[in-house]
Amino acid sequence: MNALKPEVVAWLEGRFRRAGVPESEWDEGRMWARYYLDFCAKYGLPPRSLESIGPFLNKLKAKGQNAMRREGAEATVRLLLGSQEEPAASAKPAPGSARILGEEKHPRLPVGGPSVVPQPSVRAGSGASWQAEFEKLTGAIRMRNYSATTLRTYRHWVAKFQAFVHSKAPADLGTEDVKDFLTDLAVRHGVAASTQPSGAR
């Protein structure tokens, strides 16, 4: 397996820093980036294309990596590719990422999957506060000894759902809200079922 080039390491660590990823998780992130770039080289896939993430995650699954590890790998790769936030379909790649990864042109797709993001706002709109829900989620994740990456992934999906329902009071939510959210992810954003939040399926 090839080592990451110094410029790729510097780029990735800069992305980690801006996203608020604790330095204690950077080694694992660098590992996933190295695995991803090696996978793309081995199978002739363009590493700058978001379309290469799916086959990479399928390979990790075939190798026995559990869902949490695959989520961490996907979060790292999306960060590496500059898709930290959810861009519109016409969004441009993050400045410099094509040069760093050695490619100049590859299409960007709408992003809807998990990504490493700073702590989301507990008020996605003008509705009810979801502070208690985020605190319960954090407690449940920590009680189960899951990684900080997993917590960020779950918080990301909860924040997306909160925004989708316009901060509707959690007590007023029903199964139709969840179904509508998952349908929106699949239809409008093209998010595959395997990428959607597992707790909602």
Same domain, 95 and 26: yes
CA 111, CA 73: separation in Å to the nearest integer? 15
Token pair for 63: 């190798």
Please name the amino acid found at residue 14. G
Whether 106 is covered by a domain: the verdict is no
pLDDT surpasses 90 at 60: yes
Tally of CB atoms within 10 A around 22 = 10
Task: With beta carbons less than 8 A apart as the criterion, state whether 75 and 117 touch.
Answer: no
Same domain, 90 and 141: no
Whether 120 is covered by a domain: the verdict is no
Same domain, 78 and 140: no
pLDDT (tens digit per residue) in 137-186: 887 887 777 788 888 888 888 888 888 888 889 889 999 999 998 888 88
Token pair for 163: 């925004």
Domain that holds residue 174: 131-200
Same domain, 141 and 95: no
Same domain, 12 and 83: yes
Same domain, 17 and 93: yes
Domain with residue 172: its CATH number is 1.10.150.130
Task: With beta carbons less than 8 A apart as the criterion, state whether 172 and 130 touch.
Answer: no
Spatial CA neighbour of 83 closest among 71, 73, 92, 96: 92
- Burial state string for 162-193 with b = 16 or more CB within 10 A and e = fewer than 16: bebbebbeeeeeeeeebeebbeebeeebebee
Q: Element (H or E) spanning 140, and its range?
A: helix 131-143
Q: What is the reported pLDDT for 34? A: 92
User: What's the whole-model pTM score?
Assistant: 0.46
pLDDT (tens digit per residue) in 35-50: 999 998 888 988 888 8
